[in-house]
Amino acid sequence: MPRVDDHVSAEVGSISTPDRMNWSTFFAMALFHLGALAALFTFSWRACAIAIFLYWMATGLGISLGYHRLLTHRSYKVPLALEYFFAICGTLTLEGGPIYWVAVHRIHHQKSDHHGDPHSPRDGAWWAHVGWILFGETNHNNTRALAKYAPDLAKRRFYVWLNNYHWVPLVALGVLLFACGGLTVFLWGIFLRVVVGLHATWLVNSATHMWGGRRFATRDDSRNNWWVALLTFGEGWHNNHHAHPTSARHGLAWYEFDPSWILLKVLRYAGIARSVHVAKIESGLSDRKVA
């Protein structure tokens, strides 16, 4: 589990330390990376297309629009059924359940690049990218301790269940892909797609706190990084995000490509998304709400 503050550390009973490898997490990560490597020795356009589509569903809808902009920051609202669908998509990334993910990210914002930040490059680039995942207790299912940082989610039984059994949708998807598409589709749609998605998300934790421009003088080291934004559906405009965390729009300039924001605008025009918070560029980038 990432390094959290002393209160959660006491409840969980452990804290990430560089000298304590979590072997279950290590073997899971090793297995998926070996599976991704095996996928490169097989290929079909069908498998590639399915992997790309699932990458958009899991990382785009699940992490960017779902876990991050909706569940963590509540920067917009959608019908509950669609919110739950986004959360299920998020579990397909192997990044844990919604309560775990939201709690870790809220801690990151509270402590960003200071003591207690789960994944700051000030503790080393490797640590920020993946080290914090590999060391210490995982506690993905410790809903009771993590609920302190995600009480809004912990009140819903669906999110408690999904947090405790976050692996179920990915396993079900894997069975479906293998049964319907064979080994190649399975390797591309599960192992290769998951590994690419993990590293893309981890780059937001590492690269966007080390490389890129800074539009805003935030209290942390967050930066805007265009190539991370391309990989993560707009999440790479990280300095913009840390300056205005409740803004559903991360790419604040016309040239800052933000696919998640484009889709969210479509949902808003269709009347599906509402109460959309946006950083208003014209008046000093102050937060405003668009009905």
pLDDT at 291 over 60: no
Residue 290 predicted with pLDDT over 80: no
Q: How far apart are the C-alpha atoms of 236 and 247, rounded to whole Å?
A: 14
Which structure tokens are listed for 40? 């490169």
Residue at 107 is within a domain: yes
- Per the structure, the count of domains in the chain is 1
The total number of residues shown for the chain amounts to: 291
128 in any annotated domain: yes
* Of the candidates 287, 203, 220, the residue with the CA atom closest to the CA atom of residue 252: 287
Instruction: Establish if 126 belongs to a structural domain.
Output: yes
Please answer whether residues 256 and 62 qualify as being in contact, where contact means their C-beta atoms are separated by less than 8 angstroms. Answer: no
Task: Tell me if 163 is assigned to some domain.
Answer: yes
Sorted by sequence, the CB contacts under 8 Å of residue 141 that are 6+ apart come out as 97, 100, 163, 164
Which tokens is 195 given?
A: 């590994």
Give me the pLDDT at residue 4, please: 44
One-letter amino acid for residue 184 of the chain? T
Task: Classify residue 229: in a domain, yes or no.
Answer: no
Q: What is the pLDDT of residues 20-65, one digit of tens each?
A: 888 999 999 999 999 999 999 999 999 999 999 999 999 999 999 9
What pLDDT was estimated at residue 144? 79
The answer to the question of residue 111 being in a domain is yes
> Residue 159's domain spans which residues?
6-217
- Tokens at residue 131, please? 């080290």
Domain assignment present for 172: yes
pLDDT of the residue at 143: 75
Contacts of 252 (CB under 8 A, 6+ apart): 215, 237, 240, 244, 279, 281, 285
Convert the pLDDT of each residue in 123-171 to its tens digit.
Answer: 999 999 999 999 866 666 677 788 899 999 999 999 999 999 999 999 9
Residue 7's pLDDT is 40
pLDDT surpasses 60 at 15: no
Quick one: average pLDDT of 52-81? 98
Residue 39 phi, psi dihedral angles, 5° rounding: -60, -30
Q: In the block, which residue shows the tokens 């998807």? A: 173
Tell me the per-residue pLDDT of 228-270, one tens digit each, with 9 for 90 and over. Answer: 999 999 999 999 999 999 999 999 999 999 999 999 999 999 9
Rounded to the nearest 10 degrees, the angle between the axes of helix 23-39 and helix 193-205 is 120
pLDDT (tens digit, 9 = 90+) per residue, 176-209? Answer: 999 999 999 999 999 999 999 999 999 999 999 9
Mean pLDDT of all residues in 214-228: 97
287 within domain boundaries: no
Can you give the pLDDT at residue 289? 45
Asked whether residue 5 carries a pLDDT value surpassing 50, the answer given is no
> At 38, which helix (H) or strand (E)?
helix 23-39
pLDDT in the model for residue 200: 98
